[in-house]
Amino acid sequence: MQILLAQPRGFCAGVVRAIDIVEKALDRYQAPVYVRHEIVHNRHVVDRLRGKGAVFVEDLSEIPAGSVTIFSAHGVARSVQEEAKLRQLPTLDATCPLVTKVHVQGRRYAKGGRDLVLVGHAGHAEVVGTMGQIDAPIHLVSTVEDVEGLPIDPDKPIAYITQTTLSVDDTRSIIAALHARFSDVEGPDVSEICYATQNRQTAVRALARTSDLLIVVGARNSSNSSRLREIGDEMGVPSYLVDDGDGVDPAWLEGVSTVGLTAGASAPDELVQSVIAALGRIRPVEVRTLDGVEEKVEFSLPPELRHPVATPESVE
């Protein structure tokens, strides 16, 4: 059985940065450090960091006074930032720079007097954070049908921003619906939304064209991982989302000669390897990586963490 690996797959630069922030904070400040919300949506990553001394909470009230506090890659509302200041919690912001870019765009559009539309999924951590970062009313839409129901005059100037982990095709359709309904629309091109989301979705389309079965490694609550599985389904390929190799069902492989394998942006490569191992226990496998984009994007750490911790030896 042949296993085809998507290129790219797995960690993006925003996820790498967020995990680095937690690990370097543990090195610099010692355990425990507190993280509001899962740093990224992956149980294995969270459990590994928890084992090193990170404590994950959903509310700042759970954090002892004076404790180092990290905001997750998804971003937080300004009210959370202000509460941390009031409680005098030393904070590190692991918000993905591309999510921060969305916040900046939204504030600029709102300041220009445009009604603001956010394309995203209600309740997702990134959407909650974005809506709380902009001091203006925001209309949330998830589908083309939602656009038709917007309570905005068609002649009023509007602008849109988007959640970074959406299906690129769905987002493109919603943007087209906004342009069809409203006469004055501003917003970023789909190509500006998130390089990692686009690259992984493009790669999974290429993978699905040559696979009998698609397996996506990622968490159930990972929006970008779920989109990858949905793309496979849309292309007519049986597609499954698994946490790791333990999620592989041998029954999926009946009549299958080629398995396409990819991973969401918050899934580490060792989980991909665990799926390969699980498939190899069912049937002999040959693994090949498809051609694709090689990502070289890197995001800098917060200033507080850019320099190594001084040791007695380095001081002498």
Active site residues: 126
User: DSSP per residue over the chain, as a string?
Assistant: -EEEEPSS-S--HHHHHHHHHHHHHHHHH-S-EEEES-SSS-HHHHHHHHHHTEEEESSGGGSPTT--EEE-TT---HHHHHHHHHTT--EEE---HHHHHHHHHHHHHHHTT-EEEEES-TT-HHHHHHHTTSSS-EEEE-SHHHHHT--S-TTS-EEEEE-TTS-HHHHHHHHHHHHHH-SSEE---GGGS-HHHHHHHHHHHHHHHT-SEEEEES-TT-HHHHHHHHHHHHTT--EEEESSGGG--GGGGTT-SEEEEEE-TT--HHHHHHHHHHHHHHS--EEEEPP--------PPPGGGSSPPP-HHHH-
Q: For residue 55, how many other CB atoms are within 10 A of its CB?
A: 16
Q: What is each CA distance from 303 to 1, 38, 80, 307, in whole angstroms?
A: 48, 22, 21, 8
Structure-block tokens of residue 273: 């390897």
